[in-house]
């Protein structure tokens, strides 16, 4: 029997855990269920800042899943942000920010499949020099409400996918209905990434590697929405996890030489 690929999953950091009242790691079971439904074995990443241990975690994993959470600290992408915008950000934990930057660096060094979701999508962009809209209602008011916290498990708008993009091939259609629970989003895109899907107001909600950079990783899809909350009723969202897991299994069995 071929063992399922091991997927390293990043947790949130809570300043006050339920059990002991101290700092705690937290991970929505939706991510775990989506990975397992796609044939993978999820493993939560430990709370370490050791570059050596982070590298070892990536080495033992067959792929990495960057998850959602609260805001990334603005100092990482806009250190001179005006006070009225800085106050709109709700940073989660500086340690998580820095740990995930190290993790992304290690993913690219070791060439492991990567799926980035919501906060993870934003962190990936920042890791390559990109920036974010700190608060969409303040900086980019449009007719689309991107913070539908009342509909976390419902499709609320469509994305137009780039023809020939990996995500378009995975879901088998040029448009994808998604949920939307964010108030920040990608602004300037970092190299070597490219927009692969946009909301009706033009907001970038999918990133992939540029064609000339696809040799860097065997698989990369980065999304602003939460497919893990939609997998049970929408097979096209399960397909995202299945494609990711297949890439991880391939990496596990035979390695990847680019």
Per-residue pLDDT, 252: 78
Separation between Cα atoms, residue 45 and residue 69, nearest integer Å: 15
**Lowest mean pLDDT, pick from 32-41, 54-63, 85-94:** 85-94
What would the mean pLDDT of 197-211 be, rounded to a whole number?
Answer: 98
Tell me the Cα Rg of the chain.
17
Average pLDDT, the chain: 94
Query: pLDDT band at 18, cuts 50/70/90?
Result: low
Cβ atoms of 179 and 226 within 8 Å: the answer is: yes
Per-residue pLDDT, 222: 99
Q: Is the pLDDT higher at 62 or at 25?
A: 62
**Environment class of residue 16 by beta-carbon count within 10 Å: exposed (0-12), middle (13-18) or buried (19+)?**
exposed
Per-residue pLDDT, 255: 55
Please name each of the domains of the chain with its CATH number: 6-11+26-133+147-253 (3.40.50.880)
Query: pLDDT band at 175, cuts 50/70/90?
Result: very high
Query: pLDDT band at 254, cuts 50/70/90?
Result: low
Per-residue pLDDT, 192: 96
């Amino acid at each position: 029997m071929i063992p399922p690929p091991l997927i390293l999953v990043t947790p949130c950091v809570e300043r006050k855990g339920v059990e002991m009242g101290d700092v705690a790691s937290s991970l929505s079971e939706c991510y775990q269920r989506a990975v397992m439904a796609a044939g993978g074995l999820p493993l939560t990443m430990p709370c370490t800042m050791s570059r050596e241990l982070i590298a070892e975690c990536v080495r033992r994993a067959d792929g990495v899943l960057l998850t959602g959470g609260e805001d990334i600290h603005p100092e990482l992408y806009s250190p001179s942000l005006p006070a009225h915008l800085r106050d709109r950000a709700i940073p989660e934990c500086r340690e998580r920010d820095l740990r995930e930057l190290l993790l992304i660096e290690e993913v690219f060094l070791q060439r492991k499949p990567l799926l980035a979701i919501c906060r993870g999508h934003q962190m990936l962009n920042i890791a390559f020099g990109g920036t974010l809209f700190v608060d969409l209602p303040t900086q980019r008011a449009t007719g689309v409400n991107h913070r539908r916290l009342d509909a976390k498990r419902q499709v609320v708008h469509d994305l137009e996918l780039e023809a020939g993009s990996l995500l378009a091939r995975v879901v088998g259609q040029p448009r994808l209905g998604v949920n939307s629970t964010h108030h920040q989003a990608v602004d300037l895109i970092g190299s070597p990434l490219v927009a692969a899907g946009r909301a009706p107001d033009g907001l970038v909600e999918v990133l992939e590697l540029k064609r000339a950079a696809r040799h860097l990783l065997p698989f990369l899809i980065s999304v602003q929405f939460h497919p893990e909350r939609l997998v049970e009723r929408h097979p096209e969202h399960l397909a995202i996890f299945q494609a990711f897991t297949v890439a991880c299994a391939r990496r596990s069995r035979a390695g990847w030489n680019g």
